Structure formats: structure tokens, C-alpha cells
Chains A and B, each alone.
Chain A
């Protein structure tokens, strides 16, 4: 069920991207989409009863049932890139606010 919840999150983010006219809200929509996508990728690797893919002194053998570690590694990459894009977007938003005094796309350029 988590996979479908993740798809709903992606759709919510897409709807926000299409309808919102405020730069901060657009960035938040992008973030919601990204979280949905990350949840979806991680849920693909979930195994019922599997343990975290780390060998410890308790779970000490590779023959145990682990959840899939590869989607987790890919999501680690995706999260970092998401942070980078969000920072860049917010920097652009700060510059736009300094120039126009507003975050609303419709109010820009009217002076």
C-alpha cells in the first residue's frame, strides 16, 4: 500500500507545480514530489520480515533475510541532489524577492 501512497504524493507535488503561482510554493511542491519518489524507490526494496542491510554482532551472517540495499543507496544519492536543487532554487527565489519585492509570479513586472 505504501507504494500507492508514494504515487499519490508524487501526484500531489505535480498538481502543486501546475497550479501554484508562488515561487516558494513551487519549490515546496518539487520537494513533495521528490519525497514521494524516494519513498516509492525505497518501498520497492522492502521485504516482509527483512532486517536492515547491516551486518552486526547480532545479525552476523549474510545468509539472513535483508531488505534490498540497492534502492537505499540510490535514494541516498537522490536525497543529496534534492538538497542541492532546493538550495539553488531558494537562492534564486531570494534574488527574485530582492529585485521585485514579491514571490508571486503574477505580480512581477507591474511596478
Chain B
């Protein structure tokens, strides 16, 4: 009976959402969206502060926002304050996990599975490759798909590989905690530097350079690498919390 009621409620809600979307002028059909009438066109043209004409890869200089990847321009420049809040949410959730699962004396969880020599050595070899790919993706966040969040997750996945492939392995978790707080504080300090040296919070103080260069877009690669380090160390800390238990 309860399941039936839940089914009815769910179907009713789904019907309401679909009918409200079906006859709505503001909600275009799949694929028929017109970006030129949306605010996103200003992000694509970099024309929030005034029209600058066509933006060409490899030629445009000193735009209001430098990254070739427009999603990065939104995440780490136009809406950077929002991203600071998002990083804070992740920090609070990792703090919550540490509070719930952590303790003064921790040891590795007992597993039924004991890895052999080949697995241990092979995972060490793979670890370096995955770590380097993660750092590469975080550094090239303003030019290619990816950025600090996927790169950080990849760094954490390399740690997860070590944890799963070796039942005695334990990362130096104190280092992660220090890296995490240093990266988070640096992000806030960059914002405050914009406020005091420039005119507003998180202002891009460095020049934007030529669109498409590795050393372009001013502060944005720095911020995205900091986000990558922070996300990587936070998720590694969460993994460590889940794979340890109290004991000596």
C-alpha cells in the first residue's frame, strides 16, 4: 500500500513537471536552444564589460577573461566567488567525515584480501602515471577540458589505488591536511589581494596574455591548480578515513 502511494505521488509529480515544461515558451525543445539570447553569449564573447569583437584563438590579447576553455572562464573567473563557496562545502563535508570516522589512534581496516608482490609493485608504477595525468589536467584547466576538480579527483584516485592494492599502506595524512589548508588559505588570500590591491574580491591582477598560451589568463591557472591540490588532498583524506578504524 505504501509503495503504491509513493508510486502515485511520484507519477503525479512527474506529470506535473512534464506538462509545465511542454507548453512553456521559455523552455526550448531539445537542441533548439538559442544561446545568443542568453547571458552565456556574453561569456563566450567576453563582452560583459563591453563589446570587444570576435575573439580569435592565439591572437586575442588582454581580454576581460583569458581562458580558452569558456567553462573555466565561468567557473574560475566570472563566478569565482561561487567556486570559493563550493570548495568550502567540500571542505566542510570532509571535516564532517573526519569527525564521524576519525579518532586519535587509527590503523588500517582488516581486509580478507592480501595482495601479492606483483600487485604491490604494479600499483606503485601505475600510481605515478595517474598522479602525473591528474596534475597535467589541473594545470591545463584553462586550455583543455578538465581543470582543478577532475584533476584533483584523479590525484585522489591514485591514492585510492595505493590503498586498495596494499593492505598495509597508510598515507602521511598530516601532510594532506596541511596541503589542504594551505591551498584553501591561498585561494582566500588571492581574493583578498584583489580586494586590497585592486578594486574587488578575486580580481585578476596579472595580465591575461595571449588567449591559448599555457602562461595566460593571469590568476586562473594558479587558482585552478590550488583547487586541484585542495580537492585531491580532501578526497584522499576522506578515503583514508573510510579505510581505517580505531585501534593501535
User: Contact residues of A with B, CB < 8 Å?
Assistant: 1-4, 7-8, 10-11, 14-15, 18-19, 43-48, 50, 52-57, 59-63, 65-70, 72-73, 76-77, 79-81, 83-85, 87-88, 90-92, 94-95
Contacts and interface: CB of A to CB of B under 8 A. Distances in A.
B56 A60 contact: yes
Given A53-B71, A57-B58, A91-B242, A68 B14 contact: no
Contacts of A77: 75, 82-83, 86
Contacts of B90: 80-81, 83-84
A73 B71 contact: yes
A43 B57 CA distance: 27
B55 A55 contact: yes
Contacts of A7: 14, 17-18
B97 A57 contact: no
Nearest to A49: B31
A11 B14 contact: yes
Interface of B, helix, strand, loop or mixed by DSSP: helix
Interface of B: 2-3, 6-7, 9-11, 13-14, 17-18, 21, 27, 30-35, 38-40, 43-46, 54-58, 68-71, 73-75, 79, 82-83, 86, 89-90, 92-94, 96-97, 100-101, 143-145, 149, 211-212, 231, 235, 238, 241-242
A87 B243 CA distance: 13
Contacts of A84: 89-90, 92-94
B52 to A, nearest CB: 9
Contacts of A44: 27, 33
Interface of A, helix, strand, loop or mixed by DSSP: helix
A95 B89 contact: no
Given A53-B70, A61-B54, A95-B100, A66 B44 contact: yes
Contact of B57 (A14, A60, A79, A83): A60
Given A91-B96, A91-B97, A48 B40 contact: no
A92 B144 CA distance: 37
A70 B68 contact: no
Given A57-B212, A60-B58, A18 B6 contact: yes
9 contacts: A4-B18, A11-B10, A44-B27, A54-B144, A54-B145, A80-B86, A80-B89, A88-B97, A91-B242
A57 B238 CA distance: 39
A69 B57 contact: no
A70 B96 contact: no
Contacts of B93: 84-85, 87-88
A106 B39 CA distance: 50
Contacts of A11: 10-11, 13-14
